[in-house]
Amino acid sequence: MTGMRSTLAVGDFGRNALDGLHAVSEGAGLDLNVVGSSFEALEWLGQHEPHSLLIKSGKDVEQTCFEVRSQLRHGLVPIVALSSQVDVLAFAEIFSWGGDDVVGLGDWDKLIARLRRLPKAPWERAPQASQRVALIAATERSRRVVLARVLANAGYLIQFAVTLEDAGAFAERNPPRLVVIDADLDGALELVRRLAPAHGQTLWIITAPPRRLRECRGGLRGLANAALTDGYAPPENVVFLANELGSGRGVDKRASRRLLYGTLVRFRSAGRDSDDLGLSYNISRGGIYVRSLAPPIEDTVWLELTPPRTERRVRLEGSVAWRRGYGPSDTATVPPGFGVRINDATRADLKAWEEGYASLGQLLGESIAP
């Protein structure tokens, strides 16, 4: 197999875009290969192991992502979507399909920054020291694929259950560390309510479509080792909830609780001319974590985003507290990106941020410390 120093671009690219892709690949020290369709991409991937995969937005993106992620040896290949419009929906879609970032088609400086920051080693998972098992019971193959990928990258050994009966039998016979169950499996809520109290060391997460979130939230009330997430949300949210449940909510000593919140974030190193784009992953009263394959290199950053439950954008200044690069890690609690400690803003912007955070906490039923 060859191609580890190659990037594969998938889509119908015009001459200007092809020129830009060639320049980016050369600048990142990569060979560029271009195919027009999902079928051609899978044929090429059958003979090569690329450094990265670039997919132009369009009808083939979802299929290409799922088919690539369903192949174990390509589970770690970074996937970047090239989109004509970079917004919350573009990020949410590519993440839910198993992709890793979104860049505007033609934003070549942002694309080369991502390719240069990716590790150059072959995409292989290190031997897992952890014996944590995650059991996944989901109705759709695509959801099983993307959940398995993010949980394996977080250090879990993956098991699948085809039916709810299989999931219940496995959970009782060999209690795993984590069980992820699709609410659309008939009887899923009842199974969790029956088994969760008897298996307190197992973490239980229900994924549900938005129309069933209220119903499922009520059904899980009183279960300290169970949580609920939107089934259409990025699969990394499951890792976040598992970490929160596993840490023990009653002994959290952080100044303010982290809450899942996804919105478009414009960010730049302080004093620079142009913004890059990412999607927030979680927030606290005094901080935010932003998903991106190209975290800012400098420590002082400016952020612009919309706080929860408001349409008013705010501009914040902060310090990068930590960065996480691309790649699997059994100690990782977040996807690739960077965490920011908020240091400054106008009085009105800080007030809007803190009120939005408190409002989201109340909506989620969290206890928000003053």
Report the phi/psi class of residue 155: left, alpha or beta, with left for phi > 0 and alpha for psi in -120 to 50. left
Q: Mean per-residue pLDDT for 292-316?
A: 96
CA 369 to chain centre: 27
DSSP 3-state assignment of 199? coil
- Residue 369: pLDDT over 60: no
DSSP secondary structure code for residue 125 in this structure: P
Share of the chain above pLDDT 70, in %: 91
* Number of domains composing the chain: 3
Residue 110 is part of which domain span? 6-117
Q: Are residues 154 and 203 in the same domain?
A: yes
Q: Global pTM? A: 0.89
Q: Are residues 275 and 331 in the same domain?
A: yes
Q: Contact 181/204 with Cβ under 8 angstroms?
A: yes
Assess if residue 125 is contained within a domain: no
Q: What pLDDT shows up at residue 129?
A: 56
pLDDT, tens digit, 9 for 90 and up, residues 272-290: 999 999 999 999 999 999 9
Q: What pLDDT shows up at residue 2?
A: 52
Q: What pLDDT shows up at residue 370?
A: 37
Token output for 69? 């992620």
- Residue 367: pLDDT over 50: no
Contacts of 248 (CB under 8 A, 6+ apart): none
CATH number, residue 303? 2.40.10.220
Q: Are residues 162 and 196 in the same domain?
A: yes
Assess if residue 123 is contained within a domain: no
Rounded CA gap, 18 and 11, in Å? 10
Q: Are residues 267 and 245 in the same domain?
A: no
Rounded CA gap, 278 and 63, in Å? 23
Q: Are residues 91 and 17 in the same domain?
A: yes
Q: Are residues 237 and 321 in the same domain?
A: no
Q: Which residue among 74, 90, 117 closes a domain? A: 117
Q: Mean per-residue pLDDT for 323-334?
A: 79
Q: Contact 53/66 with Cβ under 8 angstroms?
A: no
Q: Are residues 245 and 264 in the same domain?
A: no
Q: Which residue among 117, 145, 168 closes a domain? A: 117
Beta strands in the chain (DSSP E): 6-10, 31-35, 52-56, 79-83, 101-104, 133-137, 157-160, 178-182, 203-208, 226-230, 259-260, 264-269, 276-284, 287-291, 300-305, 314-324, 337-344
- Residue 172: pLDDT over 60: yes
Q: Are residues 168 and 264 in the same domain?
A: no
Token output for 50? 């690329």
Q: Are residues 272 and 239 in the same domain?
A: no
Q: What pLDDT shows up at residue 73?
A: 81
pLDDT, tens digit, 9 for 90 and up, residues 212-270: 998 898 889 899 999 999 988 899 999 999 998 988 654 445 567 899 999 999 999 99
Strands in 178-182's sheet, in edge-to-edge order, are: 157-160, 133-137, 178-182, 203-208, 226-230
Please name the helix (run of DSSP H) or strand (run of DSSP E) that holds residue 43, with its range, or none: helix 38-45
pLDDT, tens digit, 9 for 90 and up, residues 91-146: 999 999 999 999 999 999 999 999 999 987 656 655 555 678 999 998 888 889 99
Assess if residue 124 is contained within a domain: no
Q: Which residue among 222, 251, 280 closes a domain? A: 251
Q: Are residues 99 and 166 in the same domain?
A: no
pLDDT, tens digit, 9 for 90 and up, residues 11-68: 999 999 999 999 999 999 999 999 999 899 999 999 988 999 999 988 788 889 998 9
Assess if residue 29 is contained within a domain: yes
DSSP secondary structure code for residue 74 in this structure: G
pLDDT band at 355 (very low <50, low <70, confident <90, very high): very high
